[in-house]
Structure 1
Amino acid sequence: MIFDEIKAQGYTGGKTILRTFMQPLRPAVLTKATVRFETSPGHQAQVDWGRFRVDWNGEPKRLYAFVMVLGFSRMMYVEFTEDEKLDTFIGYHLRAFEYFGGRPEVVLYDNMKTVVTDFDERGHAVWNERFKRFAAHHGFLLQNCRPYRARTKGKVENGIGYVRKNFWPRVQTFTGLDDLNRQVRQWLDTVANVRAHGTTREIPRERWLREGLKPLNPMPFEEVDKQARKVSSDACVSYENNRYSVPFEWVGQIVHVQDLKNGKIRIYYGERLLAEHPKAAGKYQRVVNEKHFEGLTAAGKHKVSQPMPRLVPKAIPEVLERDLSIYEQFTDEAVVQR
């Protein structure tokens, strides 16, 4: 970074002279000898968060840098955000994969609470269910660092250090996160990914051509991501602190909620669509479709009235009226027969 700055100010010398000049100023650093772990092309990426402090309208504020480094080429992706939430994390994976032109076979994480919810009795990571579905959808495996062995993700740790030492001092001002991310993207494209890497001695972008990354699933994850819920006695399911109705016949059944991330919620039983609702903007709201309760007997004093039997009077048979002359004729006929 110093070389870039003094070169812009007119320095015409080389890096060797600058290193010689800077050598007495560098502090002595003692490190433990370790065996460096190198990955094959396309096999692994490493991910971690970096934390940075900024002056945000006169108040100190923490920003988070999502950093992903491809293990073989050392190609790096960086993006700043205001939180470390799971949806943010998933979105940054997608943009990193888009930047790299594909995904590796495995992604390595430390034991961040966003994705590792617990450990089983054998010490294996219990992954966040939704993040595990996201990884399975796009076809990459999840791997976590062994506890107290952070050096197993040294590539991304070094990447965060490089961001802190080389990019961060360049940032004098920024107008917002969009501007800060524009600056870091320019740094990635003009500095980080085009310089000779200190370990490989190759340019990451040129080495990246040999990564052989796999394509992502063309179907967006949010279109297939569904979360299981049980339909409660009021014919509603709970999702993100709100309740949504389904037809009352499904009370007690396990259904699946799909958040389209476009303001709509869909609820399925298998492949059958039971309901679609606008997504509630707040919390503790109840979103219902009145048609879902049609035919349901109400509780309490507002019972649906039962049909009452109706008495129908028996009909009086009609009497046929005849002229009296007809009866006289019958009488005459009887006398004749005698």
Structure 2
Amino acid sequence: MDLYLKVRLACDGGMSQREAARHFGISRDTVRKMMAYSVPPGYRRQAPVRRPKLDAFIAIIDRWLDEDRAVPRKQRHTAKRVFDRLRDEHGFAGGYTIIKDYMRERDRRGQEVFVPLAHPAGHGQADFGEAVVIIGGVEQKAHFFVLDLPHSDACYVRAYPAAVAEAWVDGHIHAFAFLGAVPQSIVYDNDRCLVAKILPDGTRKRATLFSGFLSHYLIRDRYGRPGKGNDKGSVEGLVGYARRNFMVPIPRFATWDAFNLWLEEQCRRRQGDRLRGESETIGERLQRDLAAMRPLPASPFEACDQASGRVSSQALVRYRTNDYSVPVAYGHQDAWIRGYVDEVVIGCGGETIARHPRSYGREDIVFDPLHYLPLIEHKINALDQAAPLQGWELPEAFATLRRLMEARMGKQGRRAYVQVLRLLESFDLADLHAAIKQALHLGAISFDAIKHLVLCRAERRPPRLDLAIYPYLPRASVETTSAKAYMGLLDREEELA
């Protein structure tokens, strides 16, 4: 530009273009162009690029690439494969580079262009993402729910062991409680947890649980086109943001609840951020979203899947390929099942009979040892081989109590030990453990004594045990040995002889 200015000033001062070309060491055509344009016009192509070696083969390349749309992505033509086929099958004499450049240019021309969208206040988008986490010392995959309000960019993130229908609904319920309001509408993808079927006219047949959830909160559901993530681009971007910012490095928490409390705090802190192109923080714009949203209903929706089953001969009920135990008294009866995100509740009639942590494995068996103790009491020979009792971690005092009971009463002692275990049906493990230790200290080794002691702990009154009766073990009397006793034995031998 400095030379450009000098040439124009010189010519304007009376120097001819021939003299200017000689003086500045440039061609007269360049001087003429400098005088014609106030600033350099740049290179301007007058005719399209000619590719004499490639033009005759463009139709073949286009046909191959069009056919690729119907085959798996990993089996489509690369530039190298197109070059090899053109050379081997059609006698192509050109180079690899012009084919690579043409395919890159063709790909750019075919890329989709998007319309910038405006997002009114009070509406949301929802999706699930995946990340690796360490919960309780175990590395596993977390499926995290994300609700985004595109108008304000406010978000809510919550993690689950699996992206099941109950997790979808539970994530919404916690998000609404976090925000204090309900969006007027939410955009979803066509996840099968939400959409049971897409009908020929494009309408969606909703899954039962999801349909009930929408009815409870009066949300208008909208859906993106299958395979078109840009239809809900805000939440798609937020899934990536949450993974990069909340889950790098790999999160380590003792429980899922602790992890989710931390995620809520990150979402709350993010409300103080001001994004590019915005004059207000996320929290300030969130107020307009909240003003346009619905108030929370009087009570939250119950996020559970409902099913029915029959109790087997082994007191097990099957739910989602896994078996859960119930008290043996309900064997062979019909039961109802409610599957929540973190637990499975089983009932019979109007009564809840069992609660278990939910298993997301396959073909697992989840036992509660207390369910089988009444049966083991009657079938005492099954005590050591009972599967529900395997791996049941009890304090050392329980094993000591069993040894003493069996030493005193044999088989009846084993039954008495099971009766002691059955006290856990009514009392906490800590109280029973303390009662057993107290009984061992007093030497009161019996079911009645332990029951009395644990009742006294629960009712906060002092125990009244008659130690002349407890324990029932015979007291040994040891006398001093004397020589006279041995002489008596010798006399006895003489008489027998």
Count of aligned residue pairs for this structure pair: 229
Q: How does 1:325-336 map to 2 (within 5 A)?
A: none
**Alpha carbons of 1:114 and 1:199: their partners in 2 closer, same or farther (altered >3 Å)?**
farther
What SS class does the counterpart of residue 146 from structure 1 fall into? coil
Q: Deviations over 1:211-266 (max 9, x none)?
A: 1211122134339x99799xxxxxxxx996899769xxxxxxxxxx8969795759
Partner of 2:350: 276
Is the 1:69–1:156 contact (alpha carbons within 8 Å) kept by the matching residues of 2?
Answer: yes
Match of 1:214 in 2: 294
Please tell me the residue identity of whatever aligns with 2:255.
Answer: G
Q: Which residue in 2 is equivalent to 1:335?
A: none
Given the alignment, which residue of 187, 195, 208 partners 1:116? 195
Aligned partner of 2:115 among 26, 35, 51: 35
Deviation at 1:180, TM superposition (A): 2.1
Closer, same or farther: CA 258–137 of 1 in aligned 2, 3 Å = farther
Cα deviation, 1:114-134, whole Å, max 9, x if unaligned, reads 111111122322210221111
Determine whether 1:203 maps to 2:281: yes
Q: TM-score, normalised by structure 2?
A: 0.40
SS of equivalent to 1:222: coil
CA distance 1:154–1:281, shift in 2 (3 Å): same
In 2 relative to 1, CA 209–217 (structure 1 residues): closer, same or farther, beyond 3 Å? same
Query: 2:61 aligns to what?
Result: none
CA 1:260–1:60: 2 relative to 1, 3 Å = closer
Aligned mates of 1:172, 1:227 — CA distance in 2 = 33
1:87 Cα deviation (Å)? 1.8
1:167-222 deviations in Å (ceiling 9; x for gaps): 222556433323322322222222x2211123545311110111121112213433
CA deviation after TM superposition for structure 1 residue 55, in Å: 4.4
Give the residue type in structure 1 aligned to 2:302.
E
Quote the residue 1:250 is aligned against. Answer: none
1:161 and 2:240 aligned: yes
Q: 2:427 matched to which residue of 1?
A: none
Percent identity of equivalent pairs: 23
Q: 1:219 to 1:151 in 2, by over 3 A?
A: same
Task: Tell me whether 1:127 sits opposite 2:201 in the alignment.
Answer: no
Q: Which moved more, 1:51-60 or 1:80-89?
A: 51-60
Higher relative contact order (Cα pairs below 8 Å, separated by 6+ residues) = 1
Q: Structure 1: where are the runs of 5+ without partners?
A: 1-29, 230-237, 247-256, 267-274, 284-338
Equivalent runs, 1:38-187 vs 2, <5 Å: 38-42=118-122, 44-55=123-134, 60-169=139-248, 173-187=252-266
Write the distance in 2 (CA, Å) between the matches of 1:96 and 1:104. 10
Q: 1:199 to 1:85 in 2, by over 3 A?
A: farther
From the two aligned structures, give the one with the greater strand fraction.
Answer: 1
DSSP-derived class of the 1:41 partner = coil
Which structure would you say has the larger Rg? 2
Counterpart-to-counterpart distance in 2, 1:239 and 1:46:
35
Q: Residues 252-294 of structure 1, C-alpha deviation per residue, up to 9 Å, x if partnerless? A: xxxxx8969795759xxxxxxxx513255589xxxxxxxxxxx
Question: Structure 1 pair 99/136, CA: closer, same or farther in 2 (3 Å)?
Answer: same
Query: Match of 2:132, as an amino acid?
Result: R
- The residue type paired with residue 240 of structure 2 is G
TM-score (norm 1): 0.57
Q: CA deviation at 1:59?
A: 5.5
| Cα distance in structure 1, aligned partners of 2:265 and 2:318 | 40
Pairwise CA RMSD of aligned residues? 3.8
Secondary structure in 1 matching 2:350: strand
**Which stretches in structure 2 are left out of the alignment for 5+ residues?**
1-107, 309-316, 325-331, 357-364, 366-497
Alpha-carbon separation, structure 1, partners of 2:132 and 2:145:
14
Amino acid at match of 1:39: H
| 8 Å CA contact retained: 2:133, 2:141 | yes
Alignment map for 1:185-264 (pairs within 5 Å): 185-190=264-269, 192-198=270-276, 200-211=278-289, 212=291, 213-222=293-302, 263=345
Q: Which amino acid aligns with 1:206?
A: E
Tell me, in whole angstroms, the C-alpha distance in 1 between the residues paired with 2:158 and 2:306: 28
Look up the equivalent residue of 1:96 and give its one-letter code. Answer: A
